[in-house]
Structure 1
């Protein structure tokens, strides 16, 4: 099944959704996905059954850099993922999910 690509000023796809995380993949429009977070967060709340609640939101940019979007009610904070083991884990999870 082909994944849908969402377009705001940025373009992204939802790479993975579980009970505990949402992985967003930037598709390289001229505006980075992170810049569209004020629009993306409410959109995700509406799209996902149960909203964001206890889910961690991560973004992977076109260079493979991961950022966690820490959501607090109506605001958010960005935290760069620098742990090599966490980056390897995300890459494996996304690769495994794409083969399903």
Structure 2
């Protein structure tokens, strides 16, 4: 059985209210590996994800939210056009 590739992403921003990820388009997509990505984030961030919102930019350049509860992935939620612009502006100020 071949080894399954994991998603590759970078954490572009962590604040008290949100986490922004960027899918690096290597291996599985964040979309297809959401449960593991959220679990890994929750384990690696001091205090876990908590009440932060988790956003990610997919390989098409669009943002979606990974809805979480208790450090576990629940579902996806598409970002509005306003959120798309705001999150793009944030990433414009971050070195990836």
TM bracket (short chain): 0.7 to 0.9
TM-score normalized by structure 2?
A: 0.84
If asked which structure has higher relative contact order (CA below 8 Å, sep 6+), I would say 2
Shift of 1:30: 4.2
**Alignment RMSD, CA only?**
1.7
SS of the residue corresponding to residue 92 of structure 2 reads helix
CA distance in 2, matches of 1:66, 1:55: 16
1:54, CA displacement in angstroms? Answer: 1.1
- In structure 1, how many angstroms separate the alpha carbons of the residues matched to 2:84 and 2:32? 22
2:78 aligns with one of 60, 80, 83: 80
Match of residue 60, structure 1, among 35, 54, 57: 57
- CA distance in 2 between partners of 1:11 and 1:65 (Å): 17
Q: How many residues align?
A: 91
CA distance in 2, matches of 1:11, 1:75: 17
Gaps of 5+ in 1: 1-7
CA distances 1:22-61 after superposition (whole Å, capped 9, x unpaired): 0110001242111111111121111111111110001101
What's the TM-score once normalised by structure 1's chain length? 0.81
Structure 2: gaps of 5 or more residues: none
Please give the secondary structure, in 2, of the residue aligned with 1:39. helix
User: Which stretches of structure 1, 4 residues or longer, exceed 6 Å deviation after superposition?
Assistant: none
Aligned counterpart in structure 1 of residue 45 of structure 2, from 48, 55, 68: 48
Aligned partners of 2:8 and 2:25 also within 8 Å: yes
